[in-house]
Amino acid sequence: MKYVDEFRDGTLARNLARTIAAAVEAGRRYNLMEFCGGHTHAISRYGIADLLPEAVRLVHGPGCPVCVLPIGRIDGAIHIARKPGVILCTYGDVLRVPASKRTSLIKEKANGLDIRMVYSTLDALKLAQDNPSRMVVFFAIGFETTTPPTALAIKMAEAGGLANFLVYANHVLTPAAIQNILESPEVRELGTVPLDGFIGPSHVSTVIGTRPYEFFAEEYQKPVVIAGFEPLDVMQAILMLVRQLNTGRFVVENEFSRAVSRDGNTKAQALVAEVFELRRVFEWRGLGLVPYSALKIKETYGRFDAERHFDVPEVWVADSPACECGAILRGRRRPVDCKLFGTTCTPDEPMGSCMVSAEGACAAYWTYGRFRSMGGG
C-alpha cells in the first residue's frame, strides 16, 4: 500500500532505533508526550516503546477524543435522545463511553431509545433527509479534525433547507489542552510529570498547521515535532526531539511534511470560523474546566444548535473514583497503575473512557499487551 508500507519498514525501524540510541546522551532522560491518541495506538501496536533506549520515556497525552468527553456531556446526549421524536446519531466509539448511573448510549439504545451510529456527518444529514417527521440530532465530538465536517454539514443543512437537523456540539481544541498540561502544577512546580517535548498530532495538524505550536515551543521552551501516524514517522520524530534537546533548541519541526503545512487547511479553518465560536470554558475528562478550549455554534447558526433547542442541562458528574483515566490523560499515571485494568475493566466492559476507543491508552495497552512501561520506563 503506497504511503503506508514504506513507512512501516522493519529494517529501517531498527536502524532508526540504533540512531536514537546513539543520539541519547548518557545520564539524560527524554520525557516525550505524544499528544494524540492515534500515536498512542501506533506506539502500542508496533511496540515502538520496546525499540527505544531506556532514556526515552513516552508519556501518553489527552488527545483521544472519546476519552476526554466528560460524563456530563454524555448525560446531555441521553437527555436529548429521550425527547420525543428524536433520532440521536454519533460516531461509533462514543456509544460505549460510560455515562452516569452505569448507563451509556449503547445501553440506552438497547432500552429502546433511537440512537444510531454514523460514519460521517454526511450520513447524519441523509438520516435527516430520510426521516422528515423526526428530529435528527448529531452528537458531534472530536478535535480539529472532526470539526470541519460538522461545520460543513451545518452549512449543507442550511443550503438544503433541512429543518429537522440539529448538532449537539462538543468539539474541543488541541492547543488549549496542551497549554493546560504545560500550566498544570504537576508539570510546572511539582515536577511529578517531567515533560521535555511533544510529538505533535498528525491529522489535527493537517487542519490547523504547525503555526499554533510555535507559541508553546517558544513560551514553555519545549520542542514540538509534528509526526505522521506510521511507526517510522513516530521514531523519526523522537530522533528529531532528542537532537533538539541535546542542542538546547526548542522549535517546531514538521516530520509529516507530506500532509501538513505551516498554515494548515485554510479552507477548513474558514468554514469552522464561520459556524463556530469559542466557549468561555469547557469541561474535559481528566483536565477539568479548561478555558477557551471548545467550540459552540454561533448565534447566526443557532437554529441548528441542539443545546439551544432542548435546553440541555449543564451538569458536572464526578468520574468513578476507582478509574484512573483522569490521571492517565494528564500523563501522571499509566493504564497498568489502575487496579481495574484488565480485571473489572476491559474493552468489552469499559469502566472508564480510556478503555473504549482504540486510541485510548488503556485500550491500546490491553489490545497490544505492551507492558514494558510498567516499571516506569
Partner 1 sequence: MCLAIPAKVIELLPDDMARVDLDGVTKEVSLGLVEDVALGDYVIVHVGFALSKLDPEEAAITLALFAEIFESLREPVAVTP
- Report d(CA 283, CA 120) in Å as an integer: 25
**289 near partner 1, judged by CB under 8 A:** no
**328 near ligand SF4, judged by CB under 6 A:** yes
The separation between CA 164 and the C-alpha centre of its own chain, rounded to angstroms, equals 29
| Residue ranges of E strands in the chain | 30-36, 56-63, 86-90, 115-117, 135-142, 165-171, 197-200, 224-226, 252-254, 276-278, 281-284, 288-291, 295-297
Helix, strand or coil for residue 236?
A: helix
* Among the listed residues 325, 329, 358, 364, the single contact to ligand SF4 using CB under 6 A: 325
Do you know the residue count of the chain?
377
Please give the C-alpha separations between residue 246 and each of 129, 177, 239, in angstroms, as whole numbers.
Answer: 57, 26, 10
Identify the burial level of 98 via C-beta atoms within 10 angstroms of its C-beta, where 0-12 means exposed, 13-18 middle and 19 or more buried: buried
Give which of 302, 327, 313, 312 is closest to 186, Cα–Cα: 327
Nearest residue (CB) to ligand SF4, 305 versus 324:
324
Give, as ranges, the residues between 14 and 73 that touch partner 1 (CB under 8 A): 15-16, 18-19, 36-38, 41, 65-66
Nearest residue (CB) to ligand SF4, 261 versus 320:
320
- Report d(CA 115, CA 110) in Å as an integer: 9
- Nearest distance from residue 219's CB to partner 1, in Å? 26
What mask, x for binding partner 1 by CB under 8 A, covers residues 127 to 146?
Answer: ---------------x--xx
- Nearest distance from residue 346's CB to ligand SF4, in Å? 8
- Report d(CA 350, CA 186) in Å as an integer: 27
- Nearest distance from residue 365's CB to ligand SF4, in Å? 8
What mask, x for binding partner 1 by CB under 8 A, covers residues 86 to 125?
Answer: -----x-x-------------------------xxxxx--
CA–CA–CA angle 112, 117, 123 (5° rounding): 125
Which position's Cβ is nearest ligand SF4?
Answer: 352
Q: Give DSSP secondary structure letters for 321-363.
A: TT--HHHHHTTS--GGGSTTBTTTBBTTB-SSGGGTSTTSHHH
What mask, x for binding partner 1 by CB under 8 A, covers residues 331 to 350?
Answer: --------------------
**341 near ligand SF4, judged by CB under 6 A:** yes
Residues that bind ligand SF4 (CB under 6 A): 323-325, 328, 335, 338, 340-341, 345, 350-352, 354-355, 362
- Which residues contribute to the site for partner 1 (CB under 8 A)? 1-4, 6-7, 9, 11-12, 15-16, 18-19, 36-38, 41, 65-66, 91, 93, 119-123, 142, 145-146, 148-149, 152, 201-203, 206-207, 228-229, 232-233, 236, 239, 255, 257-260, 265, 267-268, 271, 357-359
